[in-house]
Amino acid sequence: MRTELTYAATLPANTSTAVLVAGREQIPGELFSLEEQEYITRQLDLKSTLVTINKFTHQLYVVATEPQRKETQTQEALRKAGNALHQRLAADKVDHVVLLDGADGESALYVAEGLILTNYSFQRYKTEKATPPGLKTVSITGAGISQTQVTELGNLLDAVCHTRDLINTPHNMQTAVMLSEQLGELLEGTGVKLEVLDLVQIQSLKMGGLLAVNQASDEAPTFNILEWKPEKPANSQPVVLVGKGVVYDTGGLSIKPTPNSMDFMKSDMSGAAAVAGTLYALAKNNIPLHVIGLIPATDNLISGKGFAPGDVITMHSGHTVEVLNTDAEGRLILADALHFAKRYNPALVIDIATLTGAAARAIGREGIAMMGTADDMLKTDLKLAGELAHERLVEFPLWDEYQEHLKSEIADLKNIGGAEAGAISAGKFLEFFTNYPWMHLDIAGTAYLLSPDSYRGKHATGSSVRLLYHFLSSQATA
């Protein structure tokens, strides 16, 4: 069940309310008696960040946050305050809370973001003892907040939750064909067009990377084309998003080294889910930007008919690739999609993928590895969007020397480099199939968490949806 985010023009009476303050001078006297104000002040002096007043018919909360050095750090502190508030609301069994900014600013938007993302829960397959979140509705009120802002945020958070649902869905409930069906259900009524290419069409396009990865499977691959084209887009050339859609990854014949490393490989389509979630948010908020999503989808299984180390495959581009590791499969299906993207004459292409363990080892779950050939202004805009969403980007280089890592003695290139700079050589492989401004986001460290992290929670996070939405919506108004 989704948490509903609504706008309230005035503060409802006798409703549990969280008042957001940065200091005692912002405590609204009309809500609290003098004794309550004195109590709140004493608690704030003791460095309490959450003070509760029991009104018996409802609860009043004072959420105190201090401004940080940077505005984006303050916004992230407010999201985390939303996470802390959620714990208190759950303990008090509050099902509807109103957020009121004591300074009539926009702090409530960020608290709501943290609160609603924390409240997410995936219980689709529970038949007993399911405990859906108790918080049903969050309302925002205050002179500094508009209905438009609340609606936009609500649609974006809904997109993140849908993205999480797609990623958390297990493989037996999400083959490539099932994923295409789920994308159709998600996008129905949004205005986003979906075209699904089947096995025969993929074969006719000679997408050798996608076909090779799919060889071991009894399930057919799909190639999904999503398009959001509003009536008067701000761009004459589209932006193309490419998402890795490996619905389950065993590593193929280069099987993953430890059994538990496969336990969460249903999440290897997180890039695909992020593309779908981003298109959903853009359409729901009617962002005037022409955006196309490309999602090659398959599983990477093990069988006697699977592709093997040493094989040479011919890609959609006509180039040949020597396969030296079948667990480096994501770059093969992305390469076909990146070459396919050329037909749109794109202004920019961004691919999103859980591509390498090397990226996760380099920067952990705290950031996203970024590399690409787009100009510095676009890179800066993307990094700023990452700061705004607190989905921060770390740029890796794409120096020419890294192409040496991919030299093959028998083909145009091989699909894996050496032990060093693994995330970069993967990006360098993708770059080979591009001839347009391009950026690569490796979300291997952020897409699926094995332990809780504040409002990102545990398991699927919906990583990069908020980042891409902020970036693309800013491009539409640039």
- Catalytic machinery residues: 256, 331
**60 HSE (CA, 13 A, CB side):** 23
Q: Can you list the positions of beta strands (E) in 259-316?
A: 291-300, 312-314
Distance, CA of 273 to chain centre: 8
Nearest-angstrom CA–CA distance, 131 and 140: 26
How would you label 447-457 residue by residue, b for 16+ Cβ within 10 Å and e otherwise? bbbeeeebbbb
User: 397 phi and psi, to 5 degrees?
Assistant: -80, 160
> Measured between alpha carbons, how far apart are the two ends of the chain, in Å?
36
Contact 152, 476 (CB under 8 A): no
Distances, alpha carbon 164 to alpha carbons 160, 208, 289, 465, in Å: 6, 30, 24, 10
Contact 466, 392 (CB under 8 A): no
Q: Which residue has the tokens 């093990």?
A: 302
| DSSP-assigned beta bridge partners for residue 240 | 292, 349
Nearest-angstrom CA–CA distance, 67 and 71: 8
3-class DSSP assignment, residue 115: helix
Q: Which residue has the tokens 């699977």?
A: 306
Contact 332, 209 (CB under 8 A): yes
Residue 424 one-letter amino acid: I
